[in-house]
């Protein structure tokens, strides 16, 4: 059964996780609300990320380049490549995201949602959580 996790202007609907696929992949639908973004650029060494645009347009910064993903378009982010995303439009942008292999799962997003539910968020705990799950924050990238 899909699980939906809301993190401020993001909504993630997990369709498959590492637990259900024996570690083969994580797959979720991601909705990015207008003027929302990934709070900090990051990279990961243990998985690749593929994004397929379903509706709206999501803007990505990948390895210093600005790219967009519109409906029917794909973006592949290899391991170790710094990236972030945002929605600069006035309509929600929806993508299908596949992480291979599946090593992240919904647990990370649950923890981040809890950390961001308080003001101000504890940035030290946020960084610790990211690192524990294999995401390396790259502020200013």
Task: Assess if residue 56 is contained within a domain.
Answer: yes
**Res. 15: pLDDT tops 80:** yes
Length of the chain counted residue by residue: 141
Instruction: Tell me the pLDDT of the chain averaged across its residues.
Output: 94
- Cis-peptide into 103, omega within 30 deg: no
* Residue 124 placed within a domain: yes
- CATH number of the domain within which 104 lies: 2.60.120.10
123 within a domain of the structure (yes/no): yes
Q: 7 lies in a domain?
A: yes
Question: What are the tokens at 9?
Answer: 């202007």
Mean pLDDT calculated for residue range 61-82? 97
Q: Is residue 77 one of the residues assigned to a domain?
A: yes
Averaged pLDDT for residues 3-25: 94
Count of domains observed in the chain: 1
Residue 106's pLDDT is what?
A: 94
Q: So what's the pLDDT on residue 14?
A: 96
Domain that holds residue 42: 3-136
Confidence band for 86, pLDDT divided at 50, 70 and 90: very high
The C-alpha torsion from 12 through 25 and 131 to 84, rounded to 10°, is -50
Residue 43 lies in a domain: yes
Tens of pLDDT, residue by residue over 55-65, are 999 999 999 99
Confidence (pTM):
0.93
Using the predicted structure, report yes or no on whether residue 1 has a pLDDT greater than 60. no
Measured CA to CA, the distance from residue 60 to residue 94 in angstroms comes to 13
Do the domain assignments include residue 40?
yes
For residue 78, is it within any domain? yes
């Amino acid at each position: 059964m899909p699980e939906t996790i809301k993190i401020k202007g993001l909504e993630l609907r997990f369709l498959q996780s590492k637990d259900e696929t024996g570690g083969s992949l994580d797959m979720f639908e991601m909705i990015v609300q207008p003027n929302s973004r990934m709070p900090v650029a990051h990279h990961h060494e243990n998985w690749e990320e593929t994004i397929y645009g379903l509706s709206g347009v999501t803007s990505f910064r990948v390895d210093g380049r600005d790219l967009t993903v519109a409906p029917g378009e794909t973006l592949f982010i290899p391991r170790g490549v710094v990236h972030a995303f945002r929605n600069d439009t006035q309509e929600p942008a929806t993508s299908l995201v596949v992480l291979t292999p599946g090593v992240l799962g919904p647990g990370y997003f649950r923890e981040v949602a809890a950390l961001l539910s308080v003001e101000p968020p504890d940035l030290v705990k946020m960084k610790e959580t990211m690192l524990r799950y294999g995401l390396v924050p790259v502020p200013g990238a």
